[in-house]
Amino acid sequence: MSISFVSLDFETANSNRASVCEVGLYKVIDGEPSGVFSSLVLPPKSVGHFDSRNISIHGIQAADVSSSPEWGDIWPEVRDFVGDLPIVAHNASFDISVLRAALRECSFAWPEIDYWCTLVMSRSALNLPTYTLGAVSNALGVTHEGVHRALSDAQSASEVLMRIVLGAECSTIDQAGKQLKVSSGRLFQDSWLPCRSRASLSKADEAQRFTERLSSIGVDGYSPDPSGDFYGKAVAITGTLMSMKREEAQSLLVQAGATVKEGVSSKLDYLVSGMQDLQRLVAGEVQSSKYRKVEEMRSKGSGIEIIDEEQFLQMLRD
């Protein structure tokens, strides 16, 4: 069996992806546990405040990390621990974006790393009402403590990955990805590719969903790519995008086969988060009501993914 990887999980102090307050790594070599790395992290002063919302998720407070190392201090050890192995994470779009932001904050170059997302893979392998780490773990018989702590979540994600690969009767992650029609993501020194599903709907389902989408939005004459990240997904936007007007972004989403939503609900797949105008927010808040509602839903197990403008543009390009 040649299943080797490092499962990764981050916890953050607030909604800023650079505010790492804990990291957990769980290494598997040839299908067997091979080592762990875990550390609380002192976030940078510029983004180091702890939001009550985040504390309610992971329980980590400012006092807990006051004497902990900063990310720049432990990154070399983390990099050596990972080595040339691929990274695995549940909702890897979040964890990889945290890695990028934390490294950028420390003025470190991004490493070149392949990665897999157990959220994406479980959506292709399983038929569940929700694909949170807890729900997927339960469905696959993986013991999950149900608390958002980095090492615990990293270990659960590693066991989920193993169950998915073995359940697909494969001996490598690449084989399982091919069978499930999931392509690995890759982080480069100056860019990245997301882990994504290439599974397409049946032609009948495609036609029905296209008809419903076009009639509701009033757009015709486009042929979205079924392998695209936004194909068949419900997407909402909050905040101001720096690269284009919101109407342009919504048009591009429609062309990519997405359903654009003005509000948020449990049926949402992605929330694109742009820059927030503090003058338009509720006093004392740093995020919009859409963002806060999605964060609350995520804390209760929702699989909605929050992506920033960089991720949004990259996914559109892909």
Q: Where in the chain is the domain with CATH 3.30.420.10?
A: 5-197
Query: CB neighbours (10 Å) of residue 86?
Result: 17
* pLDDT tens, residue by residue, 151-203: 999 999 999 999 999 998 899 999 999 999 999 999 998 888 888 887 643 43
Report whether 264 contacts 294 (CB < 8 A). yes
Per the listing, tokens 């309610």 go with 56
- For residue 121 the two structure tokens come to 């893979």
| Owner of token pair 């702590």 | 149
Q: Could you tell me how many helices (H) and strands (E) the chain has, helices first? A: 12, 13
> Across the strands, what pairs with 35?
27
What is the predicted pLDDT for the residue at 281? Answer: 64
> Tens digit of pLDDT for each residue in 89-107?
998 988 998 999 999 999 9
pLDDT on residue 110: 95
For 84, residues 6+ apart whose C-beta sits below 8 A from its C-beta are none
* 37-65 residue pLDDT tens: 999 999 999 888 999 888 988 999 999 99
**Region(s) of the chain under CATH 3.40.50.10190:** 203-317
**Residue 55: which H helix or E strand, with range?**
helix 52-58
What is the rounded distance in angstroms from the CA atom of residue 166 to the CA atom of residue 158? 12
pTM over 0.95: no
Beta carbons of 294 and 305 less than 8 angstroms apart? no
Is the separation of the CB atoms in 197 and 182 below 8 Å? Answer: yes
Q: Which CATH homologous superfamily contains domain 5-197?
A: Ribonuclease H-like superfamily/Ribonuclease H (3.30.420.10)
Return the residue matching tokens 């192995």: 85
Contacts of 282 (CB under 8 A, 6+ apart): 289
Average pLDDT over residues 222-243: 81
CATH, range 203-317: 3.40.50.10190
Q: How confident is the model at residue 215 (pLDDT cuts 50, 70, 90)?
A: very low
Helices (H), 1-41: none
Residue 1 or 313, more confident: 313
- Say if residues 28 and 158 touch (Cβ distance below 8 Å): yes
pLDDT at 12: 93
